[in-house]
Amino acid sequence: MSSIFTLGYAELNKKLEEYMVDNDMRIAEILDIITEMNTLKSKTLNPIGYTAKIEK
């Protein structure tokens, strides 16, 4: 009976490791995208609309 549990634990451990590797790759991709977005030069934006003078 212990061999059944051992086989089950080994299979679960294998699946858990595959899941962790898959998620690590996804997180690495997301971090690469965020880093790339942060390194892009920011484009100066033209203001839209009118500027209002506030008189006191």
**For residue 35, what is the DSSP state?**
H
Determine phi and psi for 15, rounding to 5 degrees.
-65, -40
pTM above 0.75, yes or no: no
Sign, CA torsion 35/37/38/39:
positive
Q: Could you tell me the CA-to-CA distances from 29 to 14, 23, 36 in Å, in that order?
A: 23, 10, 11
Spans of all domains in the chain: 1-41
3-state secondary structure at position 46? coil
Q: What is the pLDDT of residues 1-54, one digit of tens each?
A: 455 566 678 888 888 888 888 888 888 888 888 888 877 666 666 777 777 777
